[in-house]
């Protein structure tokens, strides 16, 4: 029997698969396709201090082996999320990770503090890497000192374990990871989307109303693998890996690179059943490559 | 309820310029679909599904007809699919047209380009219930016109082309003056057309069907939202729509 369980700060995962923030809403839509209790965990859509409408449409564009999105952190605000969405997800037997976004340190603190008041959230994902909002936190995600500062401040106001979501739009990902680890982060989630653009030939202008968007999907998987591989050689906190995962082989690749668990994003759009299907396929894939458990495979790909 | 289903292609036909008609077999979808709903179509090698509206349903044959225009790489690829092949859809998706309004004895259908198809199944269902159907259909040019005969079988029809190469010249709004009075309208087409229609027919009861680039197609990703007011209210086109009452959303 292959053991899929993984223990991470604040998160007892029965398997290492969870839907990524922003690709799964607050779970309601996908609960019509399958029992969400099958998941390892769930990461909710980003929460900000108050309600946000987001960007104009078009907000998505397909690219080669991926897509661009510029939703713009649309959400009903942290209080509404705690009131209506968290209790819904709490009906399922899964740890809930809340994605915390903001445009100022004070907003991050406010959102984190508010989530701290409910006992139904198990961990926070600190979103310092949304590329689609001018004030969406990306400024915190590209400067190690600012990233460390916001991590420290949020850590002070919340008892929950904090996973900092790193942006790939930096030249030195290791410096970012080390800075937030030193500031008290309990884990990392990586990678967020890569900043990109598509020009629409018929009107000769950027297709997305926001002009730029975040690139996700299989196209970015090698970038994610490389960054996790590099980061894991320099930090000891666990990594939840993400970026273009669409099957169980991809999951094993992330585990080998050093991720302890993974999040599946864009692939949910093509196949709403992708998460439970990967969970079902994972034992056979682990076995095929000689592993008896998820734990066995973590970091085994790192060549020193 | 949206399900993930396999559709078997019964026929593929080019019926106008870059316009493909596909008849698809699937028991569940043919039984569950109502006018105005769409299928979220998985095209091999493409990350995102494509939303394509349902143009007709034959419950006895268990078939669903879709029409799409070749616009980009996805629809081009789909147009090359052959009879006998299968592909995956999520569907039937979204909320369709409200056809329970018994007061509406006569209805006007206003379609623009690839917005025409969902109005056909709607018109057919309304005609079966004995409503009087009037149709105004706009296309770019003569070679883009399709389903003229089918709409004529439902009732009086007007064709408009932008370049005047067939029917009246101009936009659908140009011929609304010719149309006799009606109780309710249903429209689908490009946003500027819908905006012009909802303004022109402000005093009338109407429903519009919207198109937008979609991500998940089930309401989770917030890609296809439309404002309902100026204070942050919104609807999701894929889940709350694609059909809305004419006064429900801000175009």
**CA-angle at A113, arms to A108 and A116, nearest 5°:** 130
DSSP assignment of A90-127: TTSSS-EEEEE--SSHHHHHHHHHHHHT-SS--EEEEE
Is the distance from CB of B13 to CB of B83 less than 8 angstroms? no
* Each residue's pLDDT tens digit, B205-230: 999 999 999 999 999 999 999 999 87
Residue B209: what pLDDT? 97
pLDDT band at B233 (very low <50, low <70, confident <90, very high): confident
Residue A32: what pLDDT? 96
For residue A248, CA distances in Å to A164, A253, A288, B87 come to 25, 9, 11, 23
Residue A133: what pLDDT? 63
Q: Where are the domains of chain B?
A: 3-93, 106-209
Q: Where are the domains of chain A?
A: 6-297
> B106-209, what's its fold?
Rossmann fold (3.40.50)
pLDDT band at B104 (very low <50, low <70, confident <90, very high): confident
Is residue A23 flagged as an active site residue?
no
* Each residue's pLDDT tens digit, B148-163: 999 999 999 999 999 9
Is the distance from CB of B187 to CB of B111 less than 8 angstroms? yes
Residue owning tokens 């309600």: A51
pLDDT band at B3 (very low <50, low <70, confident <90, very high): very high
Which one of A47, A130, A252, A286 is the catalytic residue?
A130
Question: In angstroms, how far is the first alpha carbon of chain A from the final one?
Answer: 30
Determine, for residues B216 and A268 on separate chains, whether the beta-carbon distance falls below 8 Å: yes
B95 bridge partner residues: B242
Task: State CA A119 to chain mean position distance.
Answer: 21
Of B227, B209, B244, B226, the residue nearest B38 (C-alpha): B209
Lowest mean pLDDT among A275-279, B86-90, B157-161, B246-250: B246-250
Residue A218: what pLDDT? 98
In chain B, the residue whose alpha carbon lies closest to the alpha carbon of A51 is B232
Q: pLDDT 10s digit of each residue in chain A, 304 long?
A: 899 999 999 999 999 999 999 999 999 999 999 999 999 999 999 999 999 999 999 999 999 999 999 999 999 999 999 999 999 999 999 999 999 999 899 999 999 999 999 999 999 999 997 766 665 567 788 999 999 999 999 999 999 999 999 999 999 999 999 999 999 999 999 999 999 999 999 999 999 999 999 999 999 999 999 999 999 999 999 999 999 999 999 999 999 999 999 999 999 999 999 999 999 999 999 999 999 999 999 999 999 7
Of A59, A63, A62, the residue nearest A22 (C-alpha): A59
Q: How far apart are CA B45 and CA B214, in angstroms?
A: 17
Q: Which strand (E) or helix (H) includes residue A24?
A: none
Q: Which strand (E) or helix (H) includes residue B149?
A: helix B148-154
Contacts of B48 in chain A (CB under 8 A): 60, 62, 67, 269-270
Contacts of B44 in chain A (CB under 8 A): none
Residue A108: what pLDDT? 95
Query: Is CATH 3.40.50.800 correct for A6-297?
Result: no
Residue A135: what pLDDT? 59
**A156 CA to chain B: closest CA distance, Å?**
32
- Of the CATH numbers 2.40.30.10, 3.40.190.150, 1.20.1260.10, 3.40.50.720, which one belongs to the domain with range B3-93? 2.40.30.10
Over 80: is that where the pLDDT of B196 sits?
yes
- A243 labelled binding-site residue: yes
What is the rounded average pLDDT for all residues in chain B?
95
Contacts of A271 in chain B (CB under 8 A): 4, 42
Is the distance from CB of A215 to CB of A167 less than 8 angstroms? no
**B130 CA to chain A: closest CA distance, Å?**
36
Contacts of A65 in chain B (CB under 8 A): 47
Of B158, B101, B166, the residue nearest B135 (C-alpha): B158
Strand-by-strand arrangement of the A162-165 sheet: A17-19, A261-264, A239-242, A187-190, A162-165, A123-127, A96-100, A42-43
User: What SS3 state is found at B63?
Assistant: strand
Residue A155: what pLDDT? 97
Residue owning tokens 């309304």: B126
Q: How far apart are CA B67 and CA B60, in angstroms?
A: 20
In chain A, the residue whose alpha carbon lies closest to the alpha carbon of B45 is A65
- B111 labelled binding-site residue: no
ipTM of the complex as predicted: 0.94
């Amino acid at each position: 029997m292959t053991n899929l369980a993984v223990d991470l700060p604040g998160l007892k995962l029965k398997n290492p698969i969870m839907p990524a923030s922003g690709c799964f809403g607050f779970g309601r839509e996908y609960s019509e396709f399958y029992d969400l209790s099958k998941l390892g965990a769930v990461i909710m859509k980003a929460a900000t201090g108050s309600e946000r409408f987001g960007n104009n449409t078009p907000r998505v564009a397909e690219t080669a082996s991926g897509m661009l999105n510029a939703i713009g952190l649309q959400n009903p605000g942290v209080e509404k999320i705690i009131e209506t969405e968290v209790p819904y997800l709490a009906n399922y037997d899964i740890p809930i990770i809340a994605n915390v976004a903001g445009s100022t340190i004070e907003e991050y603190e406010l959102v984190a503090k508010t989530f701290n008041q409910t006992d139904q959230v198990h961990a926070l994902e600190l979103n310092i890497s949304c590329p689609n909002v001018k004030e969406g936190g990306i400024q915190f995600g590209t400067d190690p000192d600012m990233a460390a500062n916001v991590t420290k401040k949020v850590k002070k106001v919340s008892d929950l374990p904090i996973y900092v979501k790193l942006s790939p739009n930096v030249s030195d990902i290791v410096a970012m990871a080390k800075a937030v680890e030193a500031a008290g982060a309990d884990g990392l989630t990586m990678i967020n989307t890569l900043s990109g653009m598509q020009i629409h030939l018929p009107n000769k202008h950027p297709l997305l109303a926001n002009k730029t968007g975040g690139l996700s999907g299989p196209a970015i998987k090698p970038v994610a693998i490389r960054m996790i591989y590099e980061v894991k050689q320099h930090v000891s906190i666990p990594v939840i890996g993400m970026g273009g995962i669409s099957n169980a082989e991809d999951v094993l690749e992330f585990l080998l690179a050093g991720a302890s668990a993974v999040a599946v994003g864009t692939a949910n759009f093509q196949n709403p059943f992708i998460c439970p299907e990967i969970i079902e396929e994972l034992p056979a894939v682990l076995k095929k490559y000689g592993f008896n458990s998820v734990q066995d495979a973590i970091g085994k790909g790192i060549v020193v | 309820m949206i399900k993930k289903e396999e559709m078997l292609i019964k026929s593929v036909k080019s019926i106008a310029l870059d316009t493909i008609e596909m008849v698809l077999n699937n028991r569940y979808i043919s039984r569950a679909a109502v006018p105005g709903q769409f299928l979220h179509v998985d095209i091999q090698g493409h990350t995102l599904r494509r939303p394509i509206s349902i143009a007709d349903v034959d419950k006895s044959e268990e078939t669903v007809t879709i029409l799409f225009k070749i616009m980009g790489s996805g629809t081009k690829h789909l147009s090359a699919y052959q009879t006998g092949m299968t592909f995956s859809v999520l569907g039937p998706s979204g909320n369709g047209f409200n056809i329970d309004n018994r007061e509406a004895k006569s209805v006007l259908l206003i379609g623009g380009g690839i917005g025409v198809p969902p109005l056909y199944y709607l018109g057919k269902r309304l005609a079966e219930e004995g409503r009087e159907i009037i149709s105004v259909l706009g296309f770019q040019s003569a070679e883009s016109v399709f389903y003229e005969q089918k709409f004529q079988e439902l009732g009086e029809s007007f064709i408009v082309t932008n370049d005047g190469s067939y029917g009246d010249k101009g936009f659908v709004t140009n011929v609304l003056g010719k149309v006799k009075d009606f109780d309710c309208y249903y429209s689908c087409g490009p946003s500027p057309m819908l905006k012009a229609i909802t303004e022109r027919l402000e005093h009338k009861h109407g429903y519009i069907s919207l198109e937008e680039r979609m991500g998940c197609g089930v309401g989770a990703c917030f890609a296809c939202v439309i404002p309902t007011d100026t204070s942050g209210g919104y609807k999701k086109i894929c889940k709350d729509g694609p059909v809305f009452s004419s006064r429900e959303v801000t175009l």
